[in-house]
């Protein structure tokens, strides 16, 4: 089966899917709407056909997206896919809906329906087109499906709903000596890895940590990633005099992140919206209590026993102090519960047959419909 993977730009999530799908006998082609490092891509994914990109800006408006359609159609037809996996919905999905929705499985990235559509009227309009083109939806949690239905005003055709899940390289493993290197051997380490973009509310998390630190001076915050609010975050840390208690780790690869998860005590995330967050699943796999935004998608994973929820700096601060002081036996119960949830529900290889079935079914139904039409 020939699968075209159509996306906005090349990310770690895309790399994971290409590795997993390619290992299951699919003939893959990859097309990113944004400019990317083609040499690096081909070095990593030598068996994937790289199609020509229109090299759009990440914030391309509807007019620019429509203008890119002729090139996309040429590349699409040249590869001649049996099935297409397209997302985010607000750009890649929108373009796929214009070319051939019958063979497309629409892959929501959660932020497309929960964040972009709310902030951008053009993105919302493009979603309306996607949800009325007849293509089926691939979502990573029930909360995303519910949001799609709400935006569409009707039940969007279901493809499959399953978490993107963890591959082997995503799993926190051996300790790498982060505590010793950072001088935090005896500290209570709070780990936040979502970076400094506004959707993840880094300034609020820093404020929450500062308030919690006043009650628990042994607490340390490890911040990984980068983003547009990084300068403001560094300034906020300096103004509060917290440079000795906040570690800015920068952008880390998966192996380095795995070491951080293995050595942290708590996981912290304050995103405005989320699907089944990979970083949350990694933290759960590491057995960490997770303090996260009170979102339906997070509740699907954390429930009432896997950690705690916050909405603002005060509530996050209170939960940080509360969870930091739980007994060793309570911490062990949370660790066992979170590891079990990930083991049962979030292994990408265990879940993959459901996605493969949906892809094959999408291709089969499209061919059957085309045959009936021609007859």
354 and 218 share one domain: no
Contact 31, 11 (CB under 8 A): no
Give the pLDDT confidence score for residue 375 in this predicted structure.
46
243 and 363 share one domain: no
Which ranges constitute the DSSP H helices of the chain? 12-22, 38-44, 62-67, 69-79, 94-99, 111, 117-119, 121-131, 142-152, 178-182, 202-215, 230-239, 254-263, 278-285, 296-302, 313-324, 328-345, 348-374
210 and 121 share one domain: no
N- to C-terminal Cα distance for the chain?
Answer: 24
180 and 308 share one domain: yes
Quote the CA–CA distance of 231 and 37 in Å, as a whole number: 26
358 and 226 share one domain: no
Quote the CA–CA distance of 370 and 375 in Å, as a whole number: 9
Give the pLDDT confidence score for residue 273 in this predicted structure.
93
145 and 181 share one domain: no
Domain count, the chain: 2
Quote the CA–CA distance of 286 and 277 in Å, as a whole number: 14
Residues of the chain with pLDDT under 50: 374-375
Quote the CA–CA distance of 161 and 142 in Å, as a whole number: 7
Give the pLDDT confidence score for residue 52 in this predicted structure.
97
332 and 294 share one domain: yes
Contact 123, 112 (CB under 8 A): yes
Q: In whole angstroms, how large is the CA radius of gyration of the chain? A: 22
Q: What is the CATH number of the domain that holds 297?
A: 3.40.50.2000
353 and 320 share one domain: no
Is the bond preceding 88 in cis, omega lying within 30 degrees of 0? yes
Quote the CA–CA distance of 265 and 191 in Å, as a whole number: 8
Q: Which of 237, 244, 248 is nearest to 208 (CA)?
A: 237
Give the pLDDT confidence score for residue 53 in this predicted structure.
97
Give the pLDDT confidence score for residue 237 in this predicted structure.
97
101 and 174 share one domain: no
pTM confidence score: 0.91
Q: Using the 8-state DSSP alphabet, how is residue 83 labeled? A: E
Give the pLDDT confidence score for residue 255 in this predicted structure.
81
158 and 38 share one domain: yes
Domain that holds residue 47: 2-165+348-374
102 and 212 share one domain: no
194 and 320 share one domain: yes
């Amino acid at each position: 089966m020939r699968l075209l993977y159509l996306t906005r730009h090349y990310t770690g999530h895309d790399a994971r899917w290409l590795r997993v799908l390619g290992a299951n006998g699919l003939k893959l082609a990859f097309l990113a709407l944004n400019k990317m490092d083609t040499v690096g891509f081909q070095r990593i994914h030598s068996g994937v056909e790289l199609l020509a990109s229109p090299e759009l800006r990440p914030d391309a408006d509807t007019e620019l997206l429509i203008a890119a359609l002729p090139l996309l159609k040429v590349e699409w037809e040249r590869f001649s896919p049996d099935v297409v996996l397209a997302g985010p919905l607000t750009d890649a999905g929108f373009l796929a809906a214009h070319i051939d929705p019958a063979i497309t499985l629409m892959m929501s990235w959660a932020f497309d329906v929960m964040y972009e559509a709310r902030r951008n009227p053009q993105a919302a309009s493009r979603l309306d087109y996607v949800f009325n083109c007849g293509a089926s939806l691939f979502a990573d949690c029930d909360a995303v499906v519910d949001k799609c239905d709400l935006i569409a005003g009707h039940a969007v055709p279901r493809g499959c709903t399953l978490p993107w899940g963890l591959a082997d390289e995503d799993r926190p493993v051996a300790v790498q000596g982060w505590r010793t290197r950072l001088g935090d051997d005896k500290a209570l380490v709070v780990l936040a890895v979502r970076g400094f973009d506004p959707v993840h509310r880094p300034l609020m998390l820093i404020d929450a940590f500062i308030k919690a630190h006043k009650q628990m001076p042994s607490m340390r915050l490890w911040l990984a990633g980068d983003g547009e609010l990084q300068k403001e975050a560094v300034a906020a840390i300096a103004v509060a005099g917290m440079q000795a208690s906040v570690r800015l780790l920068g952008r880390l690869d998966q192996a380095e992140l795995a070491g951080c998860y293995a050595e942290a005590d708590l996981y912290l995330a304050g995103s405005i919206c989320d699907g089944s967050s990979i970083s949350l699943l990694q933290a759960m796999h590491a057995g960490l209590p997770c303090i996260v935004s009170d979102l339906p998608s997070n509740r699907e994973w954390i429930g009432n026993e896997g950690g705690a929820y916050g909405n603002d700096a005060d509530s996050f601060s209170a939960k940080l102090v509360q969870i930091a002081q739980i007994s060793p036996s309570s911490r062990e119960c949370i660790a066992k519960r979170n590891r079990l949830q990930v083991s049962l529900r979030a292994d990408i290889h265990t879940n993959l047959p459901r996605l493969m079935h949906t892809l094959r079914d999408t291709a089969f139904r499209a061919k059957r419909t085309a045959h009936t039409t021609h007859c």
